[in-house]
Each structure stands twice: as C-alpha cells, then as structure tokens.
A and B are shown apart, each in its own frame.
Chain A
Amino acid sequence: MTGIHVDSVTKRFDQDATKPPTLDEIGLSIADGEFVALLGPSGCGKTTLLRMIGGLEQPTSGSVLINGEQLSGASKTTRRKLLANVGFVFQEHNLLPWRNALANVAVPLEVRKVPKAERLRIAEEMLALVGLSEAAGKLPHELSGGMRQRVAIARALAYDPDILLMDEPFGAVDAQTRDSLNLELQRIWMQRRKTVVFVTHSVPEAVFLADRVVVMRAAPGQIVEDLRVTIPRPRSLDASLTQDFLATTARLRSHLGEGTSAQELAK
C-alpha cells in the first residue's frame, strides 16, 4: 500500500465538544504519483490537514498512513524515516535568518549529506528555477516577500522528495512568475512522478495543476467535493481555454459557494 491515506481524522484544537471540530472525520486517499489540489475558504483546515500529513500535527483521532505505515503516533525514528521523502513548503516562509538564500536552499541537501560541490550546483540550479540567481547571496531579511516564498519553494524542490506538500506556495508572487512556476512544477511532476498535495486559493491554478481537486468547507472541516481533472498532460497555459477546463472551474466554484466570481469570470 503506497501513497497517503488519511483515515477518518478528526482534529480539535480546543476541548470544547460543543464547537465543531477543525477537521471532522476527514478521509482522503492519495495514490502514489498523484497531484492533488486542496481548495477551501480561509480557516477551513487546509493547513492543518497538510501539517498532519507532514507529521507536524497529531490528529485528535483517526490516523495518517504514509506508504501504508502509521505516521500519527509513530516513534521518532519511524516518523523521520517516513518523512524523509516528504518536502514541505510552508504557508509562512521559514528560512533560517542567518543563512543567505543559497545556503537556505542547501539545507535539505546538507541533511542528506550531499557533497558540497553537488550541493552548491543543485542549490544554484533551484534558485535559477525560481528566478532568484541574482539574490543568492542575500539574507532573508534583505529579500522581498515574494522572493522569500520562492526561496522556500526552491528549498523544497532541491532534495527531490517523493511527496511534496505545498501550502499556498505561490500566494505572494506575481502572475507571470506564478505561471512560469506552475509550468515548472508540472514539468517536474511529470518527470519525477511525485505525489503532490497543493493548497491554493486559486481555482484555475488548482485545475491547471492537479489530477484531482479536493474542496473543503469550514466548521466543521469536511471534504465537500473530490473532483478528477481529466485534461490531458502536458497542459500548456492554453489548456485553460478549453471547455473542459472552464466546466471544471465552474463546478468547483459552485462548491466553494462562490457562485462564479464575476470578477474572475471577466479575466
């Protein structure tokens, strides 16, 4: 049994049982090599779910399995073993403030004892990928918000994990960079067949990237839609002009209770 299995996971942050839980008996199975996008209103529990899969949060009840092995409640060693192949891009960047962009990208490579020259090469390559070759020597506090976010993306990509958990990774970058990063991400995914769980607030982004889009609602946090996207790969940016694409986004929007955002429609 490979892939990620979230098995009727409930998460309560406060013990008050009268309130709806943050996550309410969530069940979700993600196959090996699948690209899943997670949509939902702010505060519905997307980050919490992702953190649970990433082993950063314990479920109140239920369990998370990675490649068939219990993650929640596992021993430290097992947990580390399971998470060794999980890359995480956090919603709020967490670069080491004393390391420059390049050295930050190299962190997971250092952990994996990649030789120094190799490390440098990969880190530089990754920085180039996110368009930050110029900023390699800058400390995090010298970077703009979007640049910090891109460094964090480069870091997660650097060590080529099998599973990639990404929490609104492109929230602070401009549309052009976002497009190019979307294309890159698709390319990498197709090449390496990673399992990706991708949180976003952009419906088109979700449809463009994902095999499956999962929509959540809030209070209690539940899955309200689990939609397969059948648009063939590789998808070019033009794919979003197809009927299929438009139908899918419309359907997702209805589940998000958005109706169709008139403004977005116009774009």
Chain B
Amino acid sequence: GEDDKSSAPGSAATVKRTYQTALGYNVGNAPEMVAREAGFFSKLGLDVNVISSTGTPQALQGVLAKTTHYSRVQSISIVTAVANENAPYVAFGTPVQRSAFEMQSLADKPIKSVAELAGKNLGVISAGGTTDVLITLMARKEGIDPASIKRKVVGLGVAAAEFAKRGEIVAWVGSAAERKALEAAGTPVSSFAFDDVVAVPADTYFTTKEEFSANREVVVKVLAAFYAGLEFVLDTANDKKTIEYIRNYNREIKPEEAQRQLDLVRPLYTATGKDKLMTVDKARWAELQESLLAEGVIKQKANLDDVVIDSLVAEAKAVKP
C-alpha cells in the first residue's frame, strides 16, 4: 500500500523498493550491492534495499508476494513459471550473459562431456530447479536419455569433490569459484561450462507485470542503477571500492578472496562483449522456450513479447545516475 503512494508518478519523495539477491550476499551480486552502496539508486531518487535470499524459489515467490520488488534468477525459471503457471513476471535485463555453472570432475578421472554421464551418479547442489533442467537439456543435446543421469544432492560443490574421491559420483555441478577453491586446496579439477553445451540466457532481472506497467519509469531507473553498478564493477580500477561495498554486506569474505571471485565473475558479465552489457537476447529466450517445450518441462509456450522486455536496457543506459 505505502509503496504505491510513494511511487505515484510525479511524486517527489524517494521511491522505496526492495531487491532480493539471487543467493546470499555472494560476490556474484556485486552490481546490485554496488548500486546501493555507491549511491546510484539514491541519485535517481530511489531507496532500494538489497536483501539476501536462499535461492531461486524464495526469490521468485518474494516478488509475487510483493515483499520484494525485484530480483534475479535463471531465465529458465522465469520461462517455466510463466509458461506453466502463468506467473505475472516481466524480465528486463540480463546482467550475467553466461551461466556460471560448470560440470566439474576430478582431474585424474575427468568427465569431458555430458554423454559420459549416462548411467552415472552426478552430484548437484540441490534437487529440482534450474540446474536439473539444464542437465536435462544438455543430455538431450548430447543424445542421451536425461533420466539416465542419476542426480545426487551433495550440497556445496566443494563438498561434492569428496564424494567423487570416494567414487560415489563421477562429476558434480559447481562454480568457477568452487573450482578455484578446490584447486587451491590441492584437488585438481577438470571442468567444462554448461554454456558451452547449451547456451541459454543466464541470470535475468525480473519484476511483476503490475510493477512494470504501473511504474515503468521506476523499473527503468532501477535498471539504470544496476547498469551503473555493473559498469562500476567491471572497471578494475574500482576494485578496492567494489570489494569494500561487497564487504558491507558480506563482512566475512576476505578482500583477497573477494578479489579472486570478482575476477572470476567479470567475464560472465561481458561474455557477449563489452558493448552488449545487460542486453536481453530475445532470440535465445525463444530458443530456450522451444527446447523446454520439447523436453516437456513446459506444457505450452508463453508469449515472450509480454514477458521479455529487451527495450529497457537502452532506456536505462540513457538515464545514467
């Protein structure tokens, strides 16, 4: 109720919003944390609170509950939710152009392709959810039955290596940061990126249809601040500041570690080129939807025109805090 009043067009008061991160206060959420800490939101007359989440379901439901206004999740989740459940989402920016997920295995028993996983145990972070779907898509692409890959929940990717050593799994899903951590601890890891098998649009910002249609200019400003945050993060000259901002949320992370992880995530932001920062690639969304339909993950197709807004990035770039 309150929010609606303060966000009414023409209101001079600061507009209050909440952004919920994809997962915790990880370095991967740097653009949003920076957007707040560097004052990009406030410069645009916004007061956006950045709060953490435990993962995709919480992020998705928070926005629908209106306890939060914006968040970001894997595009797969948005497509599935919209197509299957008719969820009123609008996706409007893609900070991460390339999925952070990697298929990892022990270097001495490397798994080089998804096809090798047929009939084997694969360690996953959590069951269901986007990685599960991605594995299915990859299996299909490589021509094996997705169900033949037995998925075992092992928690963190770093813990998964332990199970691989015991031969209980042959590979696991992890991030680059986890790979580095394992290698630093003396466990060489072989890996390939999910994106090299099936390229899908990765993390996407989203909000509700209602917010988008009623407060389009707010959404644009929010995206503008995110964009500024992203640019800030990409500039290595700002690293000291960036890390300081991150540590305002995640006091526990050591600066060196933050630096390491920052260096690992930056390429994901710029994967499609520095000029295409944040760009929404509708074609890839459509492609994704096709394969999801083919796989039976979704029962019918959604009209992506209403869901995926690729024009906002340009507008946001123009705003510049």
Is chain B in direct contact with chain A in the complex (CB below 8 A)?
no
